[in-house]
C-alpha cells in the first residue's frame, strides 16, 4: 500500500448539508505545486457511459470550480470496456489533478452533487451505466477511511482504465524533478510504476483500453495500433511541391479519393502556401479556395468516414471551414499569427494540430529564427509554452496534437536532429501533452533535396518515405504526406519494427 501519513480530518456532516454548493470561489490554478496552508491536492478519476459521454465530462469541468475545486491538470481521454457489470455501453475515462480547500468528506459530497446535476441516479445499480462518475483516488498522501469513503481508492490498483489517465497527469520526469501536492507526487509515481509494469503505452489500442480524440460529427479518432497518415490536398497555385495541380473542385475531389484509396486516414485541405517567402493571402481569399472543396468532400458518400483537416492560421477561416464540414484545425503557427485562433478553436471544440514555427513564412528562415542552442529541447519548450496558452484559452489538452514543424524556422541539420530527437522534444511537454499523438511532416521538404541532390520536390518521395519511417520509429503517431502510397508502405514497415523494439524492452 501507499506510504502515506495519517492526518486529522474534520468530522462527517450530514450528506444533505454537504451537497449544498460551496460559496467559496477561487481563481483557477495552473500549477498544483504551490499551496496555501488551506489548499489540498487530490487526484480524481472520471468516467461516463450514458448520453454524450465527452460532453458530460466537459460539463463536469465547468461545474467543479463552483464547488471550490480547481482543475490543475487533465489527462487524455480513454475508451474502455465496462468492468464488473459488462452488459452496458463502453466508458470514456479521464483523470484530474485538482486543488481544493475542501476536506475529503466534503470533496466527496461536492463530487456527488455534480454527478446528480448531470443526471446520475445515486441509488442506481452499483457499477452500472451512468452519465458521470467522479471518484477520489488520492487526497495528497492521506490514508483515510470512514463511512462511504476510503482513500486511497481501494480498487485503483486493479483498474488500468484508472491507472492510465492518472499516469498522464504528470510525467515521471516532472514528478522526479519537483514536488507535487504534499505527497500526491509520491502516489502518482507509484501509479507510473504499476502502469509501466502492466505495459504502459504498449498496452493501449485494444478493445479493452485505448486513447482517442473526440471528433465532432464523426465520433472518435483512435490513433493507436498503427501510424496514421494525413494526405495533403493543396488547393494552391504556388505550393512548393504541387502548386497548381488541383485547379477545380472536381479535381480536388478526385485527388482526395486517390489519397484515401492509397491509405490516407485524414485529409488536410490547404489554400495558402507557407513555403519560405510566399505571399500571404487574406482570410477571405483563403476561404474562397478551401470552402468549396470542403463542402464538396462532405457531400461524397464514399468519403463520409474520412476526417477533414483545414490547414490555416486564420481563426476566421477555421470557423468557416468547420462550419462547412471540416473536423479539425491544422495551424502552422500554433496560434501565433492570429491572436483569436486559440479562443476560436476552444469554441469550435475540434482537435487542434499545433505546429512549432518562429516568425511567419516571410521571416521564418532568417538567421535569428533558425538559431537554436538545442533544437530538440528548444522546440519542445516553445511548443509547451504555446500549448499552455492554448489551454488557458479553453482548449482541453486532449484536443492538442503537437507538431515540431519540420522545415519551418529550421535549417537542414536542425531538421535531421529533430527527426532523430523526437523523444527529446516530447520530454519538454508536460502532463498529457507528453503522450499525445505527435504529427510530423517531412514530406518533400527542402532538407531532403539537399541530402539527396533532388532539386524538384516531386522527386523526393523516396527520401520522404525514409524520413517518415524514421519519424515513426522515433515516436511520431501521424505523418503528413503528398505521396501517400509510398509513405504508407514505409510506415507499415516502421510500425512492425517499432512493435518489436517495444516488445524487447
Do 458 and 240 meet the contact criterion of CB atoms below 8 Å apart?
A: no
Q: pLDDT tens-digit profile of 209-228? A: 999 999 998 988 888 889 99
**In the block, which residue shows the cell 485562433?**
341
Residue with the bigger pLDDT between 64 and 83: it is 64
Average pLDDT over residues 195-207: 91
The pLDDT of residue 106: 95
477 SS3 class: coil
Task: Give residue-wise pLDDT tens across range 411-453.
Answer: 989 999 999 999 999 999 999 999 999 999 999 999 999 999 9
Domain locations in the chain as residue ranges: 20-198, 224-503
Res. 240: pLDDT tops 90 = no
Strands (E), 276-362: 308-311, 328-331, 352-355
Superfamily of domain 224-503: Dihydropteroate synthase-like (3.20.20.20)
Q: How far apart are alpha carbons 412 and 380 in whole angstroms?
A: 18
| pLDDT at position 464 | 97
Q: Specify the pLDDT at position 23.
A: 31
Higher pLDDT, 245 or 249: 249
pLDDT, average across residues 395-412 = 96
> Residue 31: which pLDDT band, with cuts at 50, 70 and 90?
very low
* Mean pLDDT, residues 47-75 taken together: 96
The dihedral formed by the CA atoms of 137, 138, 144 and 149, expressed in degrees to the nearest 10: -30
pLDDT, position 112? 96
CATH superfamily of 20-198: 7,8-Dihydro-6-hydroxymethylpterin-pyrophosphokinase HPPK (3.30.70.560)
Q: How many C-beta atoms surround the C-beta of residue 114 within 10 A?
A: 23
Find the catalytic residue in 76, 289, 344, 480: 480
Q: Quickly state the pLDDT bin for 15 (edges 50, 70, 90).
A: very low
**Residues 458-476, mean pLDDT to the nearest whole number:** 96
Residue 431's Cβ-side half-sphere holds a number of Cα atoms within 13 Å equal to: 25
List the catalytic residue out of 73, 445, 460, 488. Answer: 445
Is residue 445 annotated as part of the catalytic site, yes or no? yes
Give me the pLDDT at residue 246, please: 55
pTM attached to this predicted model:
0.89
Task: Say if residue 24's pLDDT is above 80.
Answer: no
pLDDT tens string 338-353: 999 999 999 999 999 9
Q: Check if 480 is active-site.
A: yes
Integer Cα distance of 77 and 79 in angstroms:
7
Amino acid at each position: 500500500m501507499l506510504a502515506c501519513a495519517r492526518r486529522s480530518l474534520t468530522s462527517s456532516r450530514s450528506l444533505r448539508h454537504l451537497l449544498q454548493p460551496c460559496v467559496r470561489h477561487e481563481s483557477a490554478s495552473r500549477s498544483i505545486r504551490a499551496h496555501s496552508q488551506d489548499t489540498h491536492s487530490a487526484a480524481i478519476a472520471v468516467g461516463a457511459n450514458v448520453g454524450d459521454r465527452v460532453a458530460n465530462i466537459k460539463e463536469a469541468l465547468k461545474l467543479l470550480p463552483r464547488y471550490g475545486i480547481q482543475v490543475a491538470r487533465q489527462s487524455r481521454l480513454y475508451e474502455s470496456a465496462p468492468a464488473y457489470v459488462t452488459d452496458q455501453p463502453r466508458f470514456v475515462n479521464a483523470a484530474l489533478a485538482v486543488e481544493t480547500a475542501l476536506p475529503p468528506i466534503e470533496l466527496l459530497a461536492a463530487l456527488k452533487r455534480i454527478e446528480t446535476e448531470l443526471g446520475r441516479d445515486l441509488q442506481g445499480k452499483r457499477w452500472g451505466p451512468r452519465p458521470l462518475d467522479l471518484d477520489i483516488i488520492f487526497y495528497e498522501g492521506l490514508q483515510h477511511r470512514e463511512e462511504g469513503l476510503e482513500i486511497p481508492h481501494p480498487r485503483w490498483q486493479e483498474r488500468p482504465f484508472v491507472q492510465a489517465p492518472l499516469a498522464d497527469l504528470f510525467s515521471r520526469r516532472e514528478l522526479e524533478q519537483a514536488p507535487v501536492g504534499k505527497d500526491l507526487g509520491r502516489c502518482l509515481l507509484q501509479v507510473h510504476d504499476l502502469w509501466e509494469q502492466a505495459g504502459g503505452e504498449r498496452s493501449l489500442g485494444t478493445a479493452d483500453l485505448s486513447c482517442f480524440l473526440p471528433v465532432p460529427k464523426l465520433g472518435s479518432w483512435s490513433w493507436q495500433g498503427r501510424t496514421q497518415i494525413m494526405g495533403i490536398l493543396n488547393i494552391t497555385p504556388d505550393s512548393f511541391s504541387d502548386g497548381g495541380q488541383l485547379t477545380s473542385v472536381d479535381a480536388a475531389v478526385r485527388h482526395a479519393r486517390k489519397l484515401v484509396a492509397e491509405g490516407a486516414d485524414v485529409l488536410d485541405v490547404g489554400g495558402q502556401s507557407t513555403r519560405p517567402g510566399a505571399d500571404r493571402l487574406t482570410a477571405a481569399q483563403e476561404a474562397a479556395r478551401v470552402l468549396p472543396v470542403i463542402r464538396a468532400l462532405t457531400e461524397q458518400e464514399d468519403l463520409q468516414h474520412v476526417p477533414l483537416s483545414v490547414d490555416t492560421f486564420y481563426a476566421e477561416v477555421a470557423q468557416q471551414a468547420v462550419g462547412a464540414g471540416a473536423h479539425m484545425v491544422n495551424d502552422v503557427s500554433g496560434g501565433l499569427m492570429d491572436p483569436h485562433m486559440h479562443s476560436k478553436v476552444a469554441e469550435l471544440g475540434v482537435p487542434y494540430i499545433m505546429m512549432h514555427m518562429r516568425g511567419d513564412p516571410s521571416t521564418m528562415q532568417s538567421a535569428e529564427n533558425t538559431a537554436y542552442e538545442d533544437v530538440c529541447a528548444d522546440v519542445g519548450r516553445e511548443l509547451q509554452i504555446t500549448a499552455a496558452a492554448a489551454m488557458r484559452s479553453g482548449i482541453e489538452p486532449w484536443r492538442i496534437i503537437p507538431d515540431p514543424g519540420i522545415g519551418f524556422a529550421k535549417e537542414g541539420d536542425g531538421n535531421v536532429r529533430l527527426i532523430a530527437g523526437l523523444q527529446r522534444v516530447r520530454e519538454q511537454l508536460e502532463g498529457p501533452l507528453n503522450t499525445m499523438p505527435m504529427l510530423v511532416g517531412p514530406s518533400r521538404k527542402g532538407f531532403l533535396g539537399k541530402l539527396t541532390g533532388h532539386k524538384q520536390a516531386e522527386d523526393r518521395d523516396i527520401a520522404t518515405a525514409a524520413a517518415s519511417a524514421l519519424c515513426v520509429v522515433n515516436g511520431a503517431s501521424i505523418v503528413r504526406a503528398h505521396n501517400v502510397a509510398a509513405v504508407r508502405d514505409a510506415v507499415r514497415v516502421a510500425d512492425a519494427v517499432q512493435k518489436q523494439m517495444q516488445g524487447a524492452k
